[in-house]
Structure 1
Amino acid sequence: MNEYELKVYDEVQEWKRRITKRSGMMNRLSKKAQAKVNEVIPEKVHEIMTESIKSMVKATLFGSQMTTNRNQAEGLTLEGKDELVRKKISTYQKTAMVEGAGTGAGGILLGLADFPLLLTIKMKFLFDAAAIYGFDTKQYEERLFMLHVFQLAFSSDEIRRNTLFEIENWESRKQVLAEMDWRKFQQEYRDYIDFVKMLQLVPGIGAFVGAYANNNLLKNLGETAMNAYRLRLLQKAPEL
């Protein structure tokens, strides 16, 4: 490893410590309450929601793949790639803020449109991040990895720890993980953003909440993706 890679290694270790740290009391109570709600939702509703999210994500993956520039980071060092990803995060945060403010200001009907629009922005960012770090998103396993990065960013303590394990051991685990657990994927994501997205529908504060929430959601996804891909690259780097 060179000097910059050693610096990144320390940053990745600190990131892993932070995301595996136990959530606060309020977050844990909120998760328990959401779990109780999920228990009383009819199974047919769960199935419909799971299929809806699955179809939405797969359509977004296809569209993002078609519009991603795969040669945008040719010849860049890891430091150069990190800098480019940071710029991408900033750009996507601004886009998400505008989208969140617009749908939040529009009341319930436009507020409901925020979900697929924000999902599209998030997935498009993940494709850009993967391309910058040199991973071929035409490969199924790389698109599956992106979904695990997404789940790592938006999940509860236990799922986050399990997902980090899969990401850290991707080369050996990718053959086992033939398909995403879509039921778990949609429940974790929905539970993670439920409360703030409900506030986004409230007249008068929806625009502010939408912009603020979307900015933070993209910031979280950006940090997660950046460190997940750095982790994979560092595993390939020659040791001192």
Structure 2
Amino acid sequence: MTKVESADYLKKELKKIEKWEKNQKGLWFWEKIGRLPFVFLDKLTPKFIQEKIGLLIDELGSFIQTGGKYLISEKSILKKFTSKDSSMEGNITSIDQLEQLPISTMDEVANEVRNSRTKMATIQGATTGIGGLFTLAIDIPLLLGLSLKVLQEISLCYGYDPKEKSERIFIVKCLQFTSSDIVGKKAILEDLSTFDQDKQNEQMISQLQGWREVVTTFRDNFGWKKLFQMIPITGIIFGAIINRSSIGDVAETGMMLYRKRRIIERINQLEKLQAKTVVENE
């Protein structure tokens, strides 16, 4: 029998997430300054690297539509849950089973995913930092792929299927939130507050607004990184640190926003159950 959280517990956890949302101040001052070198460095960047970076727009569009080459299998995540939760009989073999698990179990596996992916990003950043400017052309697409991968894994942790187009739109919104300033973050939170209603009303196409901006912002945030990675070897240090920070931020955003959705859904389910019980007892 799956443990069901109380309404008080769920509301308390929801307040923690809302507090986190209020503390998201957007890009720091020096991060905004960090975009400036990008304008000048673009003029010095070989054309083949610019073309490589430009492909990110098409790749992200492909991810939204079909999942493209970034769509993952849920098997590895299901295995993690099988070893974690003893309330389920036998192996966990479907996402539907994940929906019924305690949120604390979801959090535990999501944290494992975040820690694993930040370590991978650290190694990736250090590796692609060896060759300076030229290996940066490899690093940016790889980092986008890792960002999409970790968000998909976290969506599975909270019982949402990234094979559904609506969830891939939500994932892109998480990416956009991570890179936005405070005004952008507020707009995205308002957008996501009605996400499930929009999905039910077949209005999810409106969620696509600004997805190209995600790539532009994603690229521009590498201003300082690109500056330092122009120097071979030195890029190892900056690549490792910035990649680790980037994936850590993306994973934290995914955990908070997906966790919020699951908590709100459970609160609504409890309220409906209580209302039904009252009606039956009258």
Tell me if TM exceeds 0.5.
Answer: yes
The match for 2:117 among 92, 106, 118 is 92
- Which structure 1 segments of 5+ residues have no match? none
| Residue in 1 that maps onto 2:58 | 55
| Residue in 1 that maps onto 2:235 | 206
**Local SS of the residue matching 1:202:** coil
1:4-52 per-residue CA deviation (whole Å, 9 max, x = no partner) reads: 5344223201211111x36554445566x589x59xx9xxx9xx89962
Q: Does 1:150 align with 2:175?
A: yes
**How many Å separate the matches in 2 of 1:186 and 1:193?**
11
| Residue in 1 that maps onto 2:74 | 68
Q: Does 1:9 align with 2:23?
A: no
Task: Specify whether residues 7 and 215 from structure 1 end up closer, same or farther in structure 2 by C-alpha distance, changes over 3 A only.
Answer: farther
1:165-215 per-residue CA deviation (whole Å, 9 max, x = no partner) reads: 111221234443413433322222222233224323322320011111111
**How many Å separate the matches in 2 of 1:89 and 1:111?**
23
**How many Å separate the matches in 1 of 2:254 and 2:151?**
7
Task: Specify whether residues 133 and 111 from structure 1 end up closer, same or farther in structure 2 by C-alpha distance, changes over 3 A only.
Answer: same
Task: Specify whether residues 24 and 150 from structure 1 end up closer, same or farther in structure 2 by C-alpha distance, changes over 3 A only.
Answer: closer
Task: Specify whether residues 211 and 64 from structure 1 end up closer, same or farther in structure 2 by C-alpha distance, changes over 3 A only.
Answer: same
**How many Å separate the matches in 2 of 1:129 and 1:88?**
7
**How many Å separate the matches in 1 of 2:240 and 2:31?**
22
Give the aligned residue type for 1:17: K
The match for 2:210 among 169, 172, 181 is 181
- Which structure 2 segments of 5+ residues have no match? 82-97, 272-282
The match for 2:163 among 130, 138, 146 is 138
| Residue in 2 that maps onto 1:217 | 246
**How many Å separate the matches in 2 of 1:51 and 1:103?**
19
**How many Å separate the matches in 1 of 2:54 and 2:133?**
23
Decide which structure has the larger Cα Rg and report it: 2
| Amino-acid identity (%) | 22
Q: CA deviation at 1:113?
A: 0.5
**RMSD of aligned Cα (Å):** 3.0
1:53-80 per-residue CA deviation (whole Å, 9 max, x = no partner) reads: 2322255633332433363443631000
